[in-house]
Structure 1
């Protein structure tokens, strides 16, 4: 199994505030959809609820501490280990947030697909973990200018474990 974290974070690693994303970047959404469609995705309960339900054309696995939690169209588990065990062992699996789930999973991850939002360090209550350059190497990056649909410039970064 290849474990890939997918996130969009500001320069200060901010992910969101009050269970909402801080920016709207349509090309980042397209990138995310291209990466994850047809795959298993793992997320925390708050991330699921912030999206108003499971994402289509993906197997949605939700981690929660709530013993009796249910959500139609999702596999509900109580730990990261249970979530990983529910995934095919020969496929790439995507962890899509939030901050607490990224912190739990970065040690097991093989790859990070990070959209780095430039020129902004917003107030936030959820953060992506620091990427340790001794453990990770940036394999590629693709810059995207701001334009009429994108209020911020950003970079698609692919990191792989050393």
Structure 2
């Protein structure tokens, strides 16, 4: 099963200059919860945005960067894929319980027809951004969970956790 895991603002922005445009610790905790124990598929820019490797998750990175391939060739926590065909074959061959696609926009767009589950954090504010989430046809999905997040001193923006499954 393939899931998308992302947060977006009211303008569907998901990134700005290689990072999240907001600080929302509750969303980071939610991200950790839904990706823990699953392989995470991402592009190089998403991978580069991490402070380091995330524990107890395999990092599958789609990139043509041979330096990255060389750097992680002996690290079982990181697997480098050089093409969407290679990634698609890997996804088809490895029948994981769940694989979390976490960005960026190009990867979400490439796998839009394969996704089974959506974990969306909707941030009810607008931010400066340079990366927009591709359009998803929500008619193809059923909302199975909606949880309103708590605004507090650490989480200053209203937000909602939404979970959808393909019909």
Aligned residues: 160
Does the 8 Å contact 2:21/2:128 carry over to 1?
A: no
User: Which residue number in structure 2 is paired with residue 135 of structure 1?
Assistant: 140
- Normalized per residue, the structure richer in strand is 1
Does the 8 Å contact 2:143/2:162 carry over to 1?
A: yes
In 1, the alpha carbon distance for the partners of 2:62 and 2:158 equals: 32
How does the TM-score come out when normalised to structure 2?
0.87
Does the 8 Å contact 2:2/2:100 carry over to 1?
A: yes
Does the 8 Å contact 2:22/2:127 carry over to 1?
A: no
User: Which residue number in structure 2 is paired with residue 102 of structure 1?
Assistant: 108
- Structure 2: gaps spanning 5 or more residues: none
- Normalized per residue, the structure richer in helix is 2
Deviations 1:92-141 (A, max 9, x none): 100011111111112110011000001x2222111112221322222211
Does the 8 Å contact 1:80/1:105 carry over to 2?
A: no
User: Which residue number in structure 2 is paired with residue 52 of structure 1?
Assistant: 51
Aligned Cα RMSD in Å?
Answer: 1.7
How does the TM-score come out when normalised to structure 1?
0.90
User: Which residue number in structure 2 is paired with residue 80 of structure 1?
Assistant: 84
